Structure 1
C-alpha cells in the first residue's frame, strides 16, 4: 500500500525530493502515508510480541503435545521430551501405524 502507490505517483510524473507537491497528487500521497502508518503499527506489534515472549519466563518447556486430542502421540516429534536432545533422530524413523482422522 505504501510503495505501490509511490510507484504509480512516480509514473504519473510527481517530482521527487521537494518539500511541497502539486495538489493533483494529494490523494495518492495520503494513501501512501496511510499504508506507512499501517506498516509502523505492524512493526511495533511485532516488537511487543517479541518483548512479551522473551520476558515471559526462563526455562519454560513446551507442553507434551499441543494437539492433545489423544494421550498417545503418533508423530516422531512428540515422542521425545521437550526440548529434544541434539541429533535425536540419527535417521528417519519408520512410521508403522497411521490413523485417519477425516470422517
Structure 2
C-alpha cells in the first residue's frame, strides 16, 4: 500500500476489519496476562511447590519429585539409573 494514500480502498475493507478484530483479541489477551500477573504477585510470597502433586501416591517414582523444590544446581552428579518398579 503506498504511503501517500490516506485511506484504504473498499477492496481492503474485509482485511482491515479482520486485522482490527485480531488486534482487539490481542489487547484482551494482554490485559488478561497482566491481571493474572497482578493476582499472582499479590496472592502470597515465597510459596514453594508441594513435595509431590500426586497426593495419593506415597512413594513418587519419577526423579523430578525426589529432589527438593526448588532443585539445587546440578542435582545429579551423573545420570541416574531409572528402574521400573512394581506397585
Please indicate, yes or no, whether the TM-score normalized by the shorter chain is above 0.5.
yes
After superposition, give the CA deviation of every residue in 1:56-94 in whole Å (9 maximum; x if it has no partner): 211101111123341110011101222222222111211
- Structure 2: runs of 5+ lacking an equivalent: none
Of 44, 53, 60 in structure 2, the residue corresponding to residue 57 of structure 1 is: 44
CA distance in 2, matches of 1:59, 1:74: 27
Aligned residues: 87
Residue 97 (1) aligns with residue 84 (2): yes
Which has the higher relative contact order, 1 or 2, with Cα contacts under 8 A spaced 6 or more apart?
A: 1
CA distance in 1, matches of 2:77, 2:4: 59
Tell me by how many angstroms 1:17 deviates: 6.0
Of 1, 15, 27 in structure 2, the residue corresponding to residue 28 of structure 1 is: 15
**TM-score, structure 1 normalization:** 0.68
**TM-score, structure 2 normalization:** 0.78
- Structure 1: runs of 5+ lacking an equivalent: 1-13
CA 1:17 to 1:68, structure 2 compared with 1: closer, same or farther past 3 Å? farther
Tell me the residue number matched to 1:37: 24
RMSD: 2.2
Residue 88 (1) aligns with residue 55 (2): no
